[in-house]
Amino acid sequence: MTQQTRYVIAVLPGDGIGQEVIAEAEKVLRAVAERFGWHVELRHGLVGAAAIDQTGRPLPDETLALCQSADAILLGAVGDPRYDDPRSRIRPEQALLALRKTFELFANLRPVWVHPALASASPLRPEIVQGTDCIVIRELTGGIYFGEPRVESDQRAVDTMIYHRNEVERIARIAFQAAQRRKRKVTSVDKANVLACSRLWRRVVDQVARDYPDVVLQHMLVDAAAMHLMRHPRDFDVILTENMFGDILSDEASVLAGSMGMLPSASLGEGRLGLFEPVHGSAPDIAGKGIANPLAAILSVAMLCRYSLRREREAKAIENAVGRVLEAGYRTADIAVPGQPVVTTQQMGDLVVGALSAQGSGT
């Protein structure tokens, strides 16, 4: 018997449409493994509200152990309106923050690419969005998301934004290296006219930039960047920014791609273990209806192949398969324009699997 390469993937579907889109992502992962001749073992774990319901905690120890033993983590979404009450002490989102922090996944990569076939799916004019190809590189384990002290009382609340030089430096290097493989431009987004953290950010990014003389660096204030992204999205290549600005700008950027349902993400640390998830949330309003767009989750599997398994051919094969399905005119409801056939979540997954198998092997 020949020894096959074998990967263990921790699969955490989580809440709402997370369950539905991850089911399709799993199909694609199995199909790509089969086509390229390696073995993948998918081990499921509880996360988010689904985990709170069964164990009382958003990130049970078993899930953490499962992730620790895996080559990569594939996550659906966390969030449930039952925990929206600002007084609730346990929230599904805590699981995601804990996973990022525990595995030191400090680099969040969110590519925003407008597929030519989807230029008219955006609420913005096609001539503005077409040709957009940028990536938000968001610092993910620092800043106001994790700063101490944090105080919460009825009279006063405190959040603290902290950045250390080394945190800025390591994410900046990721951004410059990404730019070297792309269009050689980094736009670093901050609020240096107001925030001390942003002034440190700017100084460190300027220093790191000296090591990458082939990359053009531009600084932009976050308010201006939010506007520029809607007016001239093609001006951007790599958008480097801190945790909360990146959270906001990446949702904004999703409008360019036609739908939140199109955007994948990777969260990476120093090692190979990464967490891959669609940028969208659990979307309770459409959960269980079979209409969610699974492409963000499927494209997250492509990123999983690229960054954790280091299998670029497989990543490309998945991206090409998605491209062909879109070119053939298939749309889930979120990206459909009048006259186009609308397919369900499952049908979209099957179409991608079909397109994947139809490609000649080894290409």
Find the part of the chain contacting ligand IPM (CB under 6 A) among 89-97, 172-180, 253-261, 289-297: 89-97
* 247 given a catalytic annotation: yes
Indicate which single residue of 19, 36, 55, 93 sits in contact with ligand IPM (rule: CB under 6 A).
Answer: 93
d(CA 207, CA 293): 41
Least separation, in Å, of the C-beta of 85 and Mg ion? 20
Nearer to Mg ion (CB atom), residue 130 or residue 243: 243
Task: Tokens for 35, please give them.
Answer: 């086509």
Give the up-direction half-sphere exposure of residue 82: CA atoms within 13 A in the CB hemisphere: 10
The active-site residue out of 145, 159, 183, 235 is 145
Indicate which single residue of 20, 247, 319, 334 sits in contact with ligand IPM (rule: CB under 6 A).
Answer: 247
Q: Does 96 bind ligand IPM (CB under 6 A)?
A: yes
Q: Which of 280, 257, 277 is nearest to 266 (CA)?
A: 277
Nearer to ligand IPM (CB atom), residue 277 or residue 314: 277
Question: 36 and 316 in contact (C-beta within 8 Å)?
Answer: no
The amino acid present at 69, given as its one-letter code, is: S
Q: Does 247 bind Mg ion (CB under 5 A)?
A: yes
The amino acid present at 162, given as its one-letter code, is: I
Nearer to Mg ion (CB atom), residue 60 or residue 261: 261
Nearer to ligand IPM (CB atom), residue 97 or residue 128: 97
DSSP 82-111: GG-STT-S--THHHHHHHHHHTT--EEEEE
Q: Which of 111, 107, 211, 108 is nearest to 167 (CA)?
A: 107
Residue nearest to Mg ion (CB): 247
Residue nearest to ligand IPM (CB): 93
Span 13-72, contacts to ligand IPM by CB under 6 A: none
CA torsion sign, 260 to 182 to 311 to 326? positive
Task: Tokens for 179, please give them.
Answer: 């730019």
Kindly state the number of chain residues that form the binding site for ligand IPM, as judged by CB under 6 A: 4
Binding site for ligand IPM (CB under 6 A): 93, 96-97, 247
Active site residues: 145, 191, 223, 247, 251
